[in-house]
Amino acid sequence: MKKLALTISLLLVAGLFSGVFAGSGDSPQSPPIGEAAPEFTLVNQNGEEVSLSDFRGSFVVLEWLNHDCPFVRKFYGAGEMQRLQRHYAEHDVVWLSIISSREGEQGHLTQEQAREAMRAHNSAQHAILIDEPGNVGRAYNARTTPHMFVIDPDGILLYDGAIDSVPSANPDTIAEAENYLVAALDAAMAGEPVAIPTTRPYGCSVKY
């Protein structure tokens, strides 16, 4: 019985973290770096339609979000994601968090729940967008939460991948990690090329 219980526990853990290491090189649907980011229109936490084209002229960060994912909790629990959201908002960067979890799956939120999540986490993104059918997530080939993208003021995709270099759910690793998102944004905003435009995203699998 003990062996059976251990086996079941391991299977449950494996299921939860099935997306920890998303594959690279096997994703032909990923939008190409250096080309136009896929356009979309989604409804935000207030029931308002938001389109990517609304923000032409600004840098845009897309963050795939699932507050129940330990890898997301790593950054929100430590206040790091909120710090980055506020820092870049001061530089006129638009930060959009997208939830592609379908109804009944981990991380799915209604508009009302998304508003409450923003309050509860004291987050500072421009909006939480509800992608319940998962069409936008699939257009970007978003594989994990978090999975980060950077788009320039002309609508060109500059970065696609992990938020940082340490694929761990332990918040103690934040300080030691190289933050790929920060490096990409800071370089682009300074008019310099992004040195590392793609990385392997890590986190929980997006619950399409």
Token output for 33: 């770096």
Domain 18-205, CATH number (from 3.40.30.10, 3.40.50.150, 3.40.1360.10, 3.40.50.2020): 3.40.30.10
pLDDT > 70? residue 7: no
Token output for 47: 């029931």
Residues 6+ apart with CB under 8 A from 20: 71, 144, 167, 202, 203, 204
Question: Worst-scoring range by mean pLDDT, 5-14, 63-72, 187-196, 199-208?
Answer: 5-14
Token output for 155: 């609508």
The mean of the pLDDT values for the chain is 90
The Cα–Cα gap between 14 and 19 comes to: 9
What residues does each domain of the chain span?
A: 18-205
Mean local confidence (pLDDT), 153-173: 98
Question: How confident is the model at residue 19, as a pLDDT?
Answer: 54
Q: Looking at the chain, how many residues does it have?
A: 208
CA-closest candidate to residue 162, choices 138, 129, 184:
184
| Percent of the chain's residues with pLDDT above 90 | 86
Question: How confident is the model at residue 29, as a pLDDT?
Answer: 83
Q: What values do phi and psi take at 186, rounded to 5?
A: -65, -40
Q: What dihedral do alpha carbons 17, 200, 52, 70 form, nearest 10°? A: 30
| Confidence band, pLDDT 50/70/90 cuts, at residue 47 | very high
pLDDT in tens, 8-37: 333 333 344 445 655 444 444 899 999 999
Token output for 112: 């009302």
Mean local confidence (pLDDT), 85-113: 98
Mean local confidence (pLDDT), 131-142: 98
Decide: 201 and 162 in contact? Cβ < 8 Å. yes
The Cα–Cα gap between 135 and 18 comes to: 21
Question: How confident is the model at residue 20, as a pLDDT?
Answer: 61
The Cα–Cα gap between 107 and 87 comes to: 26
Mean local confidence (pLDDT), 31-49: 98
Decide: 22 and 57 in contact? Cβ < 8 Å. no
Token output for 58: 């600004």
The DSSP secondary structure of 34-93, one letter per residue, reads: TSBPPP-EEEETTS-EEEGGGGTTS-EEEEE--TTSHHHHHHHHTTHHHHHHHHHHTTT-
pLDDT in tens, 52-90: 999 999 999 999 999 999 999 999 999 999 999 999 999
